[in-house]
Amino acid sequence: MTATAINPSQIPSATRARRFAQAMKGFLISPRWLFVIIALVVWQTYAVFRNSRLIPTPVKVGATMWRILTSGIFFEQLAASMTRILIGFSLAMILGTIIGILMGSRKSYDQFFKAMVILGLALPGLIYALICVMFFGISILAPVTAILAGSYPFVVINVAEGVKSLDKDLIDMSRSYKIGRGKIVRQVILPSLLPFILAAIRNGFAIAWKICTLVEVFGAVSGVGYMIKNSFDQYAVYGIVAWALMFGGVMLLIEYGLLVPAERYLARWRPKVKQVI
Amino acid sequence: MAATAVSVKDLVKCFGDLRVLDNVSFDVEESSLTTIVGFSGCGKSTLLNVLAGIETTTSGIAEVSSSKNLSARLGYVFQSPRLLPWLTIEQNLVFVRPDAVDEATHLERVHKYLEMVGLKNVRHKFPYQLSGGMQQRAGIARALCIEPAVLLMDEPFSHLDEITAGGMREEMLRIWQETRRTILFVTHDMQEAVELGDRLIMLDYHGRIFVDIKIDLPRPRNLTDRVFIEFYSDVVRHLQAMQTIRAEELAALGVS
Amino acid sequence: MSVAVNVSPNSTSLAASKRFAKSFKGIIFHKGWLAILMVLVIWQIISFFLGGRGLVPSPARTAATMWGVLASGEFFVQLGDSLVRLLIGFVLAMTLGMIVGVLMGSRWFWNEFFKDIVILGLSLPGLVYALLSVVIFGTKLLAPVMAILFASYPFIAVNIREGVKALDKDLLDMTQAYKIGKWKVVQQVIIPSLLPHILAAIRTGFTIAWKASVLTEVFGATSGIGYMIRFNFQMFAVRGILAWSLLFGGVMILIEYGILVPAERHFARWRPQILEEV
């Protein structure tokens, strides 16, 4: 018989290097750069042609981004926003996980919370932002409460789904082997819940930072949203674009650099991971 | 001497460097039932796909002809039923109406063949509401309702449990004797091949014809008859010879 | 053509009315009402204790405001303005999203080409599009339309891409073996298998679209629901904000669960199981 199964640890380093080079080549020679070039050229030409204060050139946006980055303002404001997001989102995770577990385990809880969760999913973050700003002014309670109210429903639906998909047969199997309760929770229930919790973090976090930005637009004296609002008030389109792209970039980095790989790792025992893009 | 329904001459089919069919030549008589056997990946399904026009030939000829008043149409029964899930059983059969046939005539045929396979009273159901065996029957009715010159069948019963498959085989033979369609039947099951066919073609690992024999057993065939068992043993001996050759080839290539 | 009629097992009018009564009873005695009732009671208690400051209007006063807005007809005037913008922007977003999605689903090149911009588009908040289009287009109709277009097309593209990728090659081979014409294949094979994905695209895209349109109206419009919400915000009228947003949210939930979800279910009735979302 031929040995077809290849153990990764047996791959000689030369092959590994070649594989890395191939991956790099795949990254560098990709139509994605064609898009970037076309977009930049079209944007630059249009901006120069229009010659309007309202349409900044990509060069100017780039310069603004560089300035914000090197002067350290970006990290200052990012830190202010991140503090609010983390506090608000941690609370949303706690509340969402509790309700999600309740909804997943009992039908009556599911019915009880369902209408509220649907309403919560449907209402725009704007409403939470405006109302919290009116209640709490520029205190930190405003973003925290708005994030909590806006992102917990997304945590709920993911956690509830995870609890509903728990395999009762596996728990019965563990019981038949007389495995202790703590061990069942640690080795059976938690591992099957983890991918869903990670998905909850990913979806909820994406909503959380958007709501935080909104709150900062309407009522804050610091944070990325506040800086975007400042640029808006001065009709500085380049400022809006620069701040939005950089903040969006950081959030994408967190999502695709941290959360997606973590989710994939935790769900690696599943036959197929549903990949959105 | 009956007329030729399918003629394949020097057929070669390659996927990149891989040659799955190598110089395959054979003619099939009209109204006969020919079974084609071979190992998975030896190109049996590709042969049918080439005949059906789903794949192109690399070189050689594969054509279907007809002497009777039939146009050279093909009915294809796949391994999985491949019914359109959003259409009812009847709509699935209506769907394949050839351009040359008018709607009323086709609908008449649809009902005739649904009756023949015993699905007339479930014709308004969606495929998912039917069992696997019934879905496969619908696939057969779909192939028959275009009144094809040749019926191609690609392991149509391999997804079914053995008891259902046995019943389906009997039913298929009945339909074949009723309609006298030419059938090319691909399978990996030697016993099924000997039970059903007038003739058996065995492909080897390189996509070449290894054995091409007539099966002169009387019908209905009984799997416990001495003549059947003797013939079947012969076929198995061919198979073993093929495996010996394969083992020698691999040894020559230095693969342990 | 024959019509499939024998699907429903008990189609006598008596059984139908019984079933209706049962589902009606299900709605009336649904535990969801208990949750809503509890929220209302807690809200009433809080507003009772803080009532003096006017920041927390009681549910009764909020309902009165809602009624006032509804009865005077003002709600429908503003809703009309918002819906016109929403529909124009959304139709454009559907068109762009379908084109990008089909390209991404069918060819590797286009998938790589559009991938980055679609991911960026999915993640940037609607706020950014709203502010940019208000600065650039002011209070013109183009402002909400552009904001809606750019905020919601990525969600449509992603759904359509999934649908195109999920097309069953075996079925397409089958149509080739039976020599079915191209147009018939598009009509009877490709469109039906894309339909559930198109409807999902409409549903997610629409949700994003109306949120983006409200935001645009908040920052730069002289009419529409978003404008009314901003107006109330500036007047410090919490009950106005609540009344307008609850009414508008209600209409959107009605559109989603009254039209879009049933449509999705109808077009997926040939499937063995319908994926039920919350």
**Which amino acid type is present at position C255?**
I
Query: Is A102 part of any domain?
Result: yes
> Is a pLDDT exceeding 70 seen at residue A169?
yes
Q: What is the pLDDT of chain A when averaged over all its residues? A: 86
Share of chain B above pLDDT 90, in %: 41
Q: What is the pLDDT of residue A226?
A: 95
B–C interface: beta-carbon pairs under 8 A: 57
- If you average pLDDT over residues A223-248, what whole number do you get? 92
Select the residue from A36, A155, A215, A232 to test the C interface by mutation, using most C Cβ atoms within 10 A: A232
- Tell me the two tokens of residue B164: 């259902």
Q: What is the pLDDT of residue C105?
A: 92
> Which of chain B's residues have a Cβ under 8 Å away from the Cβ of C170?
78, 80, 82
Does the beta carbon of C189 lie under 8 angstroms from any beta carbon of chain B? yes
Interval C3-56: pLDDT, tens: 333 333 344 556 667 766 766 666 666 777 788 888 888 888 888 877 645 677
> Is a pLDDT exceeding 90 seen at residue B179?
no
Is the model more confident about A75 or about A174?
A75
Q: What is the pLDDT of chain B when averaged over all its residues? A: 88
Query: Is A104 part of any domain?
Result: yes
Query: Is A56 part of any domain?
Result: no
> Which of chain A's residues have a Cβ under 8 Å away from the Cβ of C236?
134
- If you average pLDDT over residues B235-256, what whole number do you get? 85
Rounded CA Rg of chain A: 24
> Is a pLDDT exceeding 70 seen at residue B167?
yes
Q: What is the pLDDT of residue A112?
A: 86
Closest residue in chain C to residue B144, using alpha carbons only: C178
Q: What is the pLDDT of residue C51?
A: 65
Q: What is the pLDDT of residue C278?
A: 32
Distance from C-alpha of C137 to C-alpha of C159, rounded to nearest angstrom: 30
- Count the domains in chain A: 1
- Tell me the two tokens of residue B110: 């649809």
Low-confidence residues in chain C, pLDDT < 50: 1-11, 52, 274-278
**Which amino acid type is present at position A6?**
I
> Which of chain C's residues have a Cβ under 8 Å away from the Cβ of A239?
none
Select the residue from C270, C273, C274 to test the B interface by mutation, using most B Cβ atoms within 10 A: C270
Q: What is the pLDDT of residue C237?
A: 86
> Which of chain B's residues have a Cβ under 8 Å away from the Cβ of C174?
76, 78, 82
Q: What is the pLDDT of residue A192?
A: 87
Query: Is A170 part of any domain?
Result: yes
Query: Which of C:141-160 have CB within 8 Å of A?
Result: 158
B124, B91 in Cβ contact below 8 A? no
Contact C36 A125 (CB under 8 A): no
- Tell me the two tokens of residue B240: 């073993």
Nearest to B156 by CA among B231, B147, B142, A170: B142
Does the beta carbon of B132 lie under 8 angstroms from any beta carbon of chain C? no
> Is a pLDDT exceeding 70 seen at residue A238?
yes
Query: Is A151 part of any domain?
Result: yes
Contact C113 A35 (CB under 8 A): yes
- Give chains near C: 3+ CB pairs under 8 A: A, B
Contact C192 B84 (CB under 8 A): yes
Interval B68-125: pLDDT, tens: 555 668 899 998 889 998 899 999 999 999 888 899 999 999 999 999 888 999 999 9
Q: What is the pLDDT of residue B114?
A: 93
- Residue numbers of the domain that contains A166: 74-266
Select the residue from A55, A106, A112, A117 to test the C interface by mutation, using most C Cβ atoms within 10 A: A112
Distance from C-alpha of C243 to C-alpha of C224, rounded to nearest angstrom: 14
Distance from C-alpha of B140 to C-alpha of B113, rounded to nearest angstrom: 9
Structural domains of chain C ordered from first start: 62-267 (1.10.3720.10)
CATH number, domain at A193?
1.10.3720.10
Is the model more confident about A22 or about A245?
A245
Cα dihedral sign, A146-A149-A152-A157: negative
Share of chain A above pLDDT 70, in %: 92
Of C189, C193, C270, the CB nearest to B126: C270
- A168-179 burial, b for 16+ CB within 10 Å, e for fewer? eeebeebeeeee
Which residues share a beta bridge with B13?
B21
Does the beta carbon of A141 lie under 8 angstroms from any beta carbon of chain C? no
Query: Is A217 part of any domain?
Result: yes
Does the beta carbon of C244 lie under 8 angstroms from any beta carbon of chain A? no
Q: What is the pLDDT of residue A91?
A: 97
Q: What is the pLDDT of residue C87?
A: 94
Indicate if ipTM > 0.85: no
> Which of chain C's residues have a Cβ under 8 Å away from the Cβ of A252?
119-120, 123
The answer for residues whose C-beta is within 8 angstroms of residue C178's C-beta and 6 or more apart is: B74, B76, B96, B146
Q: What is the pLDDT of residue C57?
A: 83
B98, B73 in Cβ contact below 8 A? yes
Query: Is A220 part of any domain?
Result: yes
Q: What is the pLDDT of residue C4?
A: 36
Query: Is A89 part of any domain?
Result: yes
Residue written as tokens 């319908």?
A: C274
Q: What's the distance, Cα to Cα, between the start and end of chain B in Å?
A: 49
Nearest to C135 by CA among C122, C125, C150, C147: C147
Estimate to the nearest angstrom the gap between the alpha carbon of A224 and the chain centroid. Answer: 16
